[in-house]
Amino acid sequence: KHISGLVKVRIVHRDIHNGIVGARIRGAREAKHDVLIFLDSHSEVCVGWIEPLLERIHGDRKRVVVPHIRGIQHNNLELSGGEMWPPSKGSFNWRLSFTIVPADADRDIIGSTRAEKHVLPVRSPVMPGGLFAMDRKFFFELGEYDPEILYYGGEHVELSFRVWMCGGSMEQHPCSSVGHIYRGFDRFSVDPKLKGVNIGGILDRNDKRVAKAWLDEYSTIFY
């Protein structure tokens, strides 16, 4: 009822339960605008969040831009964090799990004016997952997500590899602030439709697909 009263908002229902990759592919195909913005349902945008993302993509349509993600406490919905300084960037370990590492203030920050470094984008090898913006046509040129990645896990690393290895770039923008609730429970154990499903095996399979497709000779480190 609430959503139906919003202007320019459409609700699209799917009849299959196979995770966020399938949902995002469907959303991208349904979208009408030139820019896709993916947000988790458990996120909340802050004032002025969208303009920095769009400005960067307008300058280069092959840029994938991640906002500054601030944690929201799940027990009281308090927004934490603030300025993204000192800068950090996304990374991954050889299990292909997302990690956060310090960014190099001289090498990773995009821009040359030292006085403005606190507000300049930061190059990032990997995105954290559910919050980013990119050109819609570029998303399809990359081949969308791998539709065989099921439920959750691996899709953010896989798309990050696609972006960097197929002519794009990825960055985080400190001036786009989005809050994100980090769950205090196992997301799979509370889903009645996944009762009896070997989720651990499926998640391992997701990571193996990414390693086999994109790591080439480095895949032996993963295995």
pLDDT in tens, 53-92: 999 999 999 999 999 999 998 889 999 877 778 889 999 9
Q: Look at residue 172 in the predicted model and tell me its pLDDT.
A: 95
**Can you give the pLDDT at residue 147?**
93
Of the segments 5-14, 50-59, 108-117, which one has the largest average pLDDT value?
50-59
Residue 8's pLDDT is 81
Look at residue 193 in the predicted model and tell me its pLDDT: 79
Q: What is the pTM of this model?
A: 0.90
- pLDDT one-digit tens code per residue, 152-193: 889 999 999 999 999 999 999 999 999 999 877 777 777 887
Residue 115 has pLDDT above 70, yes or no: no
Q: What is the pLDDT of residue 116?
A: 79
pLDDT greater than 80 at residue 45:
yes
Quote the mean pLDDT of the chain.
90
pLDDT value, residue 112: 67
Question: Rounded CA gap, 123 and 66, in Å?
Answer: 10
As a whole number, mean pLDDT of residues 212-218 equals: 93
